[in-house]
Chains A and B, each alone.
Chain A
Amino acid sequence: MSDSVPIVSGRYSHDLLLHDSDEELVAGTTSFVEQGLESGGHVLVHSTQARVALFKEVLGTHPRLEYGLDEDLYLSPSRTLFAYQRKLAESPRPIELWATGTVPLGDDAAGHPAWGRYESLVNEVLGPYAFHGLCSYDTQVLPERTIAAAKAGHPHMGAGDQRTASPEYKHPADFLTDPLAGVPDPPSDPPGATMTIPGVHHLRQARDLVRRTCVSSSAVARDTVDDFVAAVNEVVVNGLHHGGAPVRLALWTDPARLTCLVTDLGPGIADRLAGYRYPEPDGPKGLWVARQLCEDIFVGSLPGGGSGVLVIAE
């Protein structure tokens, strides 16, 4: 095809492979793996047990080719995202990583938006590195909405000489405002606890309130509560330093889910992508750390000015 574009070794790429048969899947994966091995990079093929067996048969073994199982590598979107980032950013020597597989979307369609956001955020989080992703989506079984989100989350589609720029691709900041991203709203019922935080000297009080409320009215594991408290603490500090005091906090607890909305009165437009990029040595790290301590953090602007940050743990 005349408008096909090749993957450039040493740079970043993130491609979508739509397929409705195993043959298409194997052909696309094979071409990606071969180019990865030729580039001298490390190649990771991950999938379900059955598919990994199939790929092993076709692709064989190679010192730089590794097979992995989804259940080991794709525990939760944010954990997977930052695990890849740390692997690339903290490697003592520059590495080139080629990863391909089916992004496990969970057992039901309700979990799809979280992995849809993951796909889009990969572009932000791994964009600076020599990372190549080829994500396969089975059009036979996946709902249209999930396929649409995948098209918006990958800059390119197709493999080998079928690879083209994706016309429906959206920048991650724009994707997060799209209904396809399924960014949740704060719960509409009254919060279980609220607090106004005038300055850093009320941080400990705020943490005590959040911890107490979570422990008494949810069944979330103690470590998860501790990490959630630490994540909320960082978001509050961020609001006090970069937004404007007072910072307000509202907390909702379910048996298995903790939600905290932190709002400040700061001027300007909130950066939805804050805290995703690997931090500079002396740069701010609070939000980046907070994102790794919980399930999800959503940054948004409030209708009347200021920003609202939703922190969620499960």
Chain B
Amino acid sequence: MKSLDRRPTDWDGHVALVHDSERQRRIGVADWVRCGLDLGAKVLYIEPEDVPPERSLLGLLEEHALRVEEALADGRLEIFTASDEVYSPTWQEGVTDEALAVGYPSVRWSGEERTAWSVMSPARHTEIEWETDLLCNTRPVSIMCQYSAHLPQPTLETVCAVHGAGVRDSQLRALPTPEGLALAGSADAANDRLLRSTLVARAATAAADGGRIIVDLGELEFLDVAGARALWTGTTAHRMRGGTVRLTRPLPRVDRMLRLLGAQQAPGFEMEDAHE
């Protein structure tokens, strides 16, 4: 199976790390920081004021044997305490531009949803997330926002909508494309809610009269019944208003699963033949 974690170029943009457990969150964050430092990027992290040591970024990095004393000392890694100001897009833009001006090739930001929600309302945070997407499109900036997979479905759908560069959890990456969505990794009973939310969010931006969404399955290594059900339920509204969903480039085993479940004759679905 191709590792999703070792392709640093894929990390660029405004992505959501959706984690099912604290353990998964820690693995994802440690990888993200390591990746950033390897790339020579400036890594910026936002934490609440009263974060307990074991939950803090430094505690997390120590657990994953990542030595960052030097990076902290020379400013390659910087940790901010959450406040209204730290979340203001203007301030973030300023800090980002400063780092780029002194020669960093790129900048990486990360923080948890609960940190933001400790200093502002979730609604205000969502507005900021939209503006953040713009920041990522205009500069070499990657922002990884950490969200719990156990949030209510509508909240998850919003999370999926505001992250222009896609959503990932420990085994699935969903990347919006001009025509629809590209999936990589595994879609199964562990992340079916996330896949569903991603599809709902992507379909909501499709033409009002439906139109066609292409779901590129080329890098999807595994799909189970729960994952396939998410492909159905995540696009129900889109197909009900006359839209179609084209499933392209499935691996043979993914193709077999879809056909056993009747995708080739399901209303609103089009299937492309499997590729080897």
**B238-257: which have CB < 8 Å to A?**
252-253, 256-257
Contact across chains for A201 and B262 when beta carbons are under 8 A apart: no
Assembly CA distance A275 to B258 (angstroms)? 17
Total count of chain B residues near the partner, CB < 8 A? 23
Contact across chains for B252 and A223 when beta carbons are under 8 A apart: yes
Instruction: Answer whether A204 and B21 are a contact pair too, CB < 8 Å, given A230-B257, A293-B260.
Output: no
Contact across chains for A204 and B260 when beta carbons are under 8 A apart: no
The stretch that binds A, out of B69-77, B129-137, B186-194, B207-215, is B186-194
Assembly CA distance A285 to B253 (angstroms)? 17
Chain A residue contacts of B171, Cβ below 8 A: 204
Contact across chains for A285 and B188 when beta carbons are under 8 A apart: no
Q: In the assembled complex, how far is the CB of residue A278 from the closest CB belonging to chain B, in whole angstroms?
A: 11
Q: In the assembled complex, how far is the CB of residue B225 from the closest CB belonging to chain A, in whole angstroms?
A: 5
Chain B residue contacts of A90, Cβ below 8 A: 262, 265
Q: Which of A200, A223, A240, A285 contacts B261 (CB 8 A)?
A: A285
Query: Is A286 part of the binding interface, using a Cβ–Cβ cutoff of 8 Å?
Result: yes
Q: In the assembled complex, how far is the CB of residue B267 from the closest CB belonging to chain A, in whole angstroms?
A: 11
Q: In the assembled complex, how far is the CB of residue B186 from the closest CB belonging to chain A, in whole angstroms?
A: 6
Instruction: Answer whether A289 and B222 are a contact pair too, CB < 8 Å, given A203-B190, A226-B253.
Output: no
Chain B residue contacts of A47, Cβ below 8 A: none
Chain A residue contacts of B21, Cβ below 8 A: 201
Query: Chain A interface: which size bin?
Result: 20 to 34
Q: Which of B190, B225, B262 contacts A204 (CB 8 A)?
A: B190
Assembly CA distance A112 to B3 (angstroms)? 46
Query: Is B224 part of the binding interface, using a Cβ–Cβ cutoff of 8 Å?
Result: yes
Query: Is A207 part of the binding interface, using a Cβ–Cβ cutoff of 8 Å?
Result: yes
Chain B residue contacts of A227, Cβ below 8 A: 253, 256
Contact across chains for A285 and B190 when beta carbons are under 8 A apart: no
**B174-210: which have CB < 8 Å to A?**
186, 188-190
Query: Is A26 part of the binding interface, using a Cβ–Cβ cutoff of 8 Å?
Result: no
Instruction: Answer whether A230 and B20 are a contact pair too, CB < 8 Å, given A285-B261, A286-B225.
Output: no
Assembly CA distance A237 to B170 (angstroms)? 18
Q: In the assembled complex, how far is the CB of residue B232 from the closest CB belonging to chain A, in whole angstroms?
A: 10
Smallest Cβ-Cβ distance to B229: which chain A residue = A285
Q: Which of B1, B189, B262 contacts A203 (CB 8 A)?
A: B189
**B1-30: which have CB < 8 Å to A?**
1, 20-21, 24
20 sampled A-B residue pairs with Cβ under 8 A = A90-B262, A200-B190, A201-B24, A201-B170, A201-B190, A203-B188, A204-B188, A223-B253, A230-B224, A237-B188, A237-B224, A237-B225, A240-B189, A285-B225, A285-B229, A289-B257, A289-B260, A289-B261, A292-B260, A293-B256
Q: Which 5 A-B pairs have the closest CB atoms?
A: A200-B190, A226-B253, A237-B189, A200-B189, A286-B225
Chain A interfacial positions (CB closer than 8 Å to B)? 90, 200-201, 203-204, 207-208, 223, 226-227, 230, 233-234, 237, 240-241, 285-286, 289, 292-293
